[in-house]
Structure 1
């Protein structure tokens, strides 16, 4: 049975069933899942028909690179219904490519495929109706190839970051674990700069030089989203405090917590997020310097920590963000050994991420009206999900500290994966 389950035919049957179910659920929930895809189409149709393009002609909530995947379906169809199908087909194809790379990883790539598919089923259809459905495969492949082809991993992470910021966490992790100044220049600076030069060159060619970095200003103006981890005290307090209000922002299409205290938390997170990201990167650097033999583990743990920090310290808490945390776990399962230490490091995070994904689906789309209305069960599910995200982040940081503290007890080796 184990041999059958680990065969490619079994994996592709499972892949087809999983994605068929997810696509079916996307149609069942319709606007809740595909509403953003409809917005993607509107942006590119407006550009193609009226000549008014995001970034080139006005500020946008996404980096310039996000236009590329939104534009592709519009090249093949003129109807919204067909645009949806092409979009979901494109995301499915990207994930199929990631599964091929994942399944070929040694020593346990095919076991990791089963985890990855289980994670996506638990998360439900939200990821296929968002840009994050494309980001997750990019993050996964970047982490899988990082040990042998760090320059390619950096290029992929940078491409992903120009679509949406999250893969930048992987780029930061790659930079922190570069084994030498020469490796840092060759495998981090040059591929990252090459991708950025292409994107910025396109921006200048199209006259978007004044708007290409405005995405950061757009994010800074956002308030505390109701699903965000830091909004948990407010959502829980709504059970007994009717003065705490949630309002729909019809400009950026999210529900936000109102009030001076919520605004203060949002402003604090603007500072806390970059501090946390830089702090984790420094911890990775400290752990990796004397332990080039452990750089692969440090990269995966650190990437998981960076991606979790992007959720825990983010004033935006969209459900599709959870798709970010599956890739480092899947890569760790694929590249890990059968040793007790590896199982101890990754078993609980793997279980925890699946639980987090399932709780997220319960919040959105299954019980979203109840969650917004402050119903006790939905509120409790949201609070538990957010508490688990914090626990996963703390666990990743603790593991990094353990690796860093063990550095004096292991002889230093000269060569590492990023040398």
Structure 2
């Protein structure tokens, strides 16, 4: 007996609806990956930062006014920083400082051009991040959130020039470490912080020959060009004068090491904060603060060497994790440059955003990527706390008001925790092995 065919009509599978969780996730992912939406967000975030910078005019653009004075004084008298007198910045900083003065007239014009340059550099870095990494849109969205939390200080300092360079260097380091070293070295001749990327790349090289070809040669070529031009301009020994300019400074009131003194002001009236007219910053006075500042001069060097040595050990044990270690080492070094620094300027926080953004965009998937989410959240909180201290409530902080001292103390504690976590992760990678869920990636 033949089976009777079943002619009962069947409904086709229902298409996913707008309320279907999977459909909603897909739509959200497509929106976040949209270059047009990301470009709009970039414009909105930077418009907000520019508006705030204008609102806090003197607070944010105070240093930019000084940059303009250095440039105009050079054009008017022929006397240039480094070339004719000692300077607090490396000689490469002359390029971004002098550039806006070439195409502007007056302080306001200089500030407008300066702001445009910083935004343009950040746009280039964001495009690099999006187009050259597996999850570039994710990293770019986090970077914009981080900058929004940090506030307009990013626009009003040289750090707004070097932070995009750190982003580019870390992105390029995935496939072209020599180019990354060249970019980071150029950035370090503007301000020291990008040198952390060079140290991280050096610590993850497999052989001496690899170290020489990948790090030493490109770094030396860039340095020779910069120093050579400075010598041609008549700098002489001043080409390296920046390395001796910080010795006379004492403990800046915002620095991590000054936290105890800020809290102790509640019960010890002998602890005071004074304005340093020579370097335009507030410092903690007294012999104890001076001793801490002097100690930090060598503790910072020891910390950098220790992190580099730990990374070298981890990379030798697991060379397949080289790029992940570059990101971790860069983050650890950049946080260390804040934690163990007697200078604690708020814009320093912008240094740490790039390795986190690049890690979210390019770190190996699985556990390695998930590890970056807690520090990513922590850095946004650190950025916002920094914004609250400067520019929002800098006066109350200097006056020792309880709520602002607590905010600053919590921010500094968070930086110490982030540094500890980065160092622990480097050690954990060095001690551990490869797992199936956490595939190895190399630089």
TM-score range, shorter chain: over 0.9
Aligned equivalents of 2:133 and 2:202: distance in 1?
Answer: 24
Name which of 307, 327, 332 aligns with 2:359.
332
Is the Cα contact below 8 Å between 2:311 and 2:325 reproduced in 1? Answer: yes
Name which of 123, 132, 140 aligns with 1:113.
140
What is the correspondence of 1:13-92 to structure 2 with a 5 Å cutoff?
13-92=40-119
Report whether the alignment pairs 1:131 with 2:158: yes
Report whether the alignment pairs 1:404 with 2:430: yes
Name which of 158, 169, 174 aligns with 1:142.
169
Equivalent residue for 2:375?
A: 349
Report whether the alignment pairs 1:390 with 2:416: yes
The alpha carbon displacement at 1:417 in A equals: 4.1
Report whether the alignment pairs 1:256 with 2:283: yes
Q: Which has the higher contact order (CA 8 A, sep 6+)?
A: 1
Report whether the alignment pairs 1:103 with 2:135: no
Aligned equivalents of 2:296 and 2:190: distance in 1?
Answer: 22
Aligned equivalents of 1:102 and 1:391: distance in 2?
Answer: 27
Q: Which runs of 5+ in 2 are unaligned?
A: 1-27
The alignment's TM-score, normalised by the length of structure 1, stands at 0.97
What is the correspondence of 1:242-321 to structure 2 with a 5 Å cutoff?
242-321=269-348
Equivalent residue for 2:120?
A: 93
SS at match of 1:214: helix
Name which of 235, 253, 261 aligns with 1:234.
261
Report whether the alignment pairs 1:380 with 2:429: no
Equivalent residue for 2:10?
A: none
Runs of 4+ in structure 1 off by over 3 angstroms are 415-418
Aligned equivalents of 1:171 and 1:2: distance in 2?
Answer: 34
Is the Cα contact below 8 Å between 1:108 and 1:333 reproduced in 2? Answer: yes
Equivalent residue for 1:203?
A: 230
Deviations 1:105-126 (A, max 9, x none): 3321101110000000000000
Is the Cα contact below 8 Å between 1:132 and 1:323 reproduced in 2? Answer: yes
Is the Cα contact below 8 Å between 1:107 and 1:337 reproduced in 2? Answer: no
Equivalent residue for 2:396?
A: 370
Name which of 236, 247, 250 aligns with 1:223.
250
Deviations 1:214-235 (A, max 9, x none): 1111111111000000000000
Aligned equivalents of 1:345 and 1:417: distance in 2?
Answer: 18
Let me know the Cα RMSD of the aligned residues: 1.4
Aligned equivalents of 1:44 and 1:106: distance in 2?
Answer: 38
Is the Cα contact below 8 Å between 1:142 and 1:152 reproduced in 2? Answer: yes
Aligned equivalents of 1:343 and 1:71: distance in 2?
Answer: 41
- For these two proteins, the number of residue pairs brought into alignment is 413
Report whether the alignment pairs 1:164 with 2:191: yes
Aligned equivalents of 1:147 and 1:21: distance in 2?
Answer: 32
The alpha carbon displacement at 1:135 in A equals: 0.7
Report whether the alignment pairs 1:181 with 2:191: no
The alpha carbon displacement at 1:39 in A equals: 0.2
Deviations 1:192-211 (A, max 9, x none): 00000001111110110221
Question: Which deviates more, 16-25 or 215-224?
Answer: 215-224
Name which of 34, 39, 42 aligns with 1:12.
39
Aligned equivalents of 2:214 and 2:409: distance in 1?
Answer: 40
Is the Cα contact below 8 Å between 1:226 and 1:235 reproduced in 2? Answer: yes
Aligned equivalents of 2:125 and 2:134: distance in 1?
Answer: 16
SS at match of 1:210: helix
